[in-house]
Amino acid sequence: MKLYFLFSILIAFCSCNAPKEVQHDWELIWSDEFDITGPPSAQNWSFSGQNKADWACYCSDRIENAFVADGYLHVKGTVENLSDGTMNYQTGCIQTKGKFSFLYGKIEVCAKLQHGKGSWPAIWMMPENSEYGGWPKSGEIDIMEHLNNDAYVYQTIHSEFLDNQGGKDNVNYYVTAPYNVNEFNVFACEWYPDSLCFSINDKATFTYPRGKSDDSEKWPFDKPFYIILNQALGGNWVGEINLDDVPQEMLVDWVRVYQ
């Protein structure tokens, strides 16, 4: 059953194993602490499946590419040498679609990233039902995307106005924000009816406001969204893959949503 919840705030710690401290009576309403061993919880997650989008062209349903062990979710991009001499990439891609979605609140994901040419891990959200139409009409919220060997991550908004109507030339729709390389970081987004507020390790990085007269083309963010975690390899944006840098892995300590 889907859950639809309101706002939340939690103090994010640089150490992801630190105790939770809640402000203003905000309450945890959904989480995965990845304290099992084996495939990701079927109650919370399913594999995203392959499609023609760059991030999804190698998505695998194999447990080798998305599994839980030692208290962490391991989302991996791997390569296999096939008997005919070709190579086959496999990437981990899981989602909460059909299992959990929410409208407004705060989401935090504690994750550790690797570096390498062609690596493209992401933490993001898509609409549970594309009520305003196909991408980008119903919106996309990118909480974290990392490319190659960058010492920063992208936090980005997508909509019909931004991607198809030239809106990117007139508004700030993304930020490149530094993070603690080779450490766990808490990537977060507070989602309100009139703004999306991003942060890393409880430090504000970027706010995208809603205009008073904005319609769904500018602000499709008034419907429930679900969560996606994936470790992509290659694509038009990230560029070529260096085989010496594969496998790549995003480790996720926990995912939490607050009300």
Query: Annotated catalytic residue: which of 140, 160, 190, 249?
Result: 140
- One-letter amino acid of 77: G
140 is catalytic: yes
Active-site annotation holds for 27: no
What torsion do the CA atoms of 208, 184, 46, 138 make, to the nearest 10 degrees?
A: 10
Residue 58 neighbours by CB distance under 10 Å: 24
Stretch (H or E) spanning 198: strand 195-200
Q: Alpha helices, DSSP H only, in 65-204?
A: 160-164
CA distances from 123 to 24, 55, 86, 170, 189 (A): 26, 12, 30, 26, 11
Distance CA 184, CA 182 (A): 7
Q: Are 17 and 183 in contact (CB under 8 A)?
A: no
User: If we measure between CA atoms, which residue out of 117, 53, 50 comes closest to residue 88?
Assistant: 50
Catalytic residue among 108, 128, 145, 249: 145
Residue count of the chain: 259
Can you name the residues that pair with 52 across neighbouring β-strands?
Answer: none
Catalytic residue numbers, as ranges: 140, 145
